[in-house]
A = this chain, B = another copy of it.
Amino acid sequence: MSITVVGSVAYDSIATPAGRRERCLGGAATYFSLSASFFTDVRVIAVVGDDFGPEQEAVFAARNIDTRGIERAGGKTFFWEGSYLDNLNEAKTHQTDLNVFAAFEPKIPDTYRDSEFLFLANIDPVLQRRVREAMPGVKLVAGDTMNYWIKDHRPALLEVLKGLDVLLINDTEARMLAGNPNLVLAARAVMALGPSSLVVKHGEYGATLFHKSSPASKGAEFRAPALPLDEVVDPTGAGDSFAGGFFGYLASQPALTPAAYRRAMFYGSVMGSFAVQRFGTERLQSLTRAEIDERFNLFRELTHLD
């Protein structure tokens, strides 16, 4: 089944201990859709500027991603500059130019309307809500957000949460959103705001899946590891790549069983682990499904008793 994703398509300038890249293709919707495209059909809603050219378009085309919902506006594409020189676990933002994103009004192509899965990548919750309301018939809606929206746009974000089935955020965001430092209590508080499932990403320590319906004695439903890597080249997009693997795998399954959710957590971790091994989307562009399944087996070996 196909996924429609709304979010940013951007240029990123990134500095890490491994080097730097200027204006490489980035954005949450880009990482998400490249990652999810290994599992199912993906359709993107975004906006880019005059500076978005055939080279960037070719990256999406090579993965058969439907870009008819990427609007061309006069002006410049969204630009982000950040570094991870002191701490690979946290980006330091140097510059954010919204550019064409400042006046973005998401338009949903008619050809997208039969998508059964919807992903609201990290953008203004007002836009997330608008897209959610424009696609009332979807089977499963997942979304992401970040500290900025949690702190300064809480009312709009709370409206989005009411319409989500699955929220994917990191530890800090979960604790901030719930106002509780304990992860289990924070997860319960977040799910009380709407989503029936919550995926909390722990960076190099993996990710935890919570279901509203899980018995309290379990604490959480499932925990997926991350692959211990001897080199992290660029952490940008790890979370969006996780989301793409997770949601892409779910969308490829005939039924949303507990086992499907567990494997989806593994595929999320697998895709995140590939994304950080090269700058920007480089590794996702060169990836094959055989490599994905090989790494899936490595993850199983890393966590299974027998």
Are B225 and A223 interface neighbours, CB within 8 A?
yes
Q: Does A192 touch B at the CB level, under 8 Å?
A: no
Least CB distance from A260 to B in Å reads: 10
Asked if A303 meets B228 with Cβ closer than 8 Å, knowing A183-B204, A204-B183, A205-B206, the reply is no
Are A230 and B185 interface neighbours, CB within 8 A?
yes
22 A-B residue pairs with Cβ-Cβ distance under 8 Å, sorted by A, are: A183-B204, A183-B228, A184-B228, A184-B230, A185-B230, A187-B228, A202-B205, A205-B206, A217-B298, A219-B229, A219-B302, A220-B302, A222-B302, A222-B303, A223-B302, A259-B305, A259-B306, A263-B305, A266-B305, A303-B303, A304-B304, A304-B305
Q: Which of B185, B220, B301 contacts A218 (CB 8 A)?
A: B301
Least CB distance from A19 to B in Å reads: 16
The residues of B that contact A187 with a CB separation of less than 8 Å are: 228
Chain A: interface residue count, which band? Answer: 35 or more
Q: Does A135 touch B at the CB level, under 8 Å?
A: no
Q: State which residues 226-271 of A face B: CB under 8 Å.
A: 227-232, 259, 262-263, 266
Asked if A230 meets B182 with Cβ closer than 8 Å, knowing A218-B302, A223-B303, A303-B223, the reply is yes
The 5 residue pairs across chains A and B that have the minimum distance between CB atoms: A219-B228, A205-B205, A184-B230, A220-B228, A223-B225
Asked if A298 meets B230 with Cβ closer than 8 Å, knowing A88-B181, A183-B204, the reply is no
Q: State which residues 289-306 of A face B: CB under 8 Å.
A: 298, 300-306
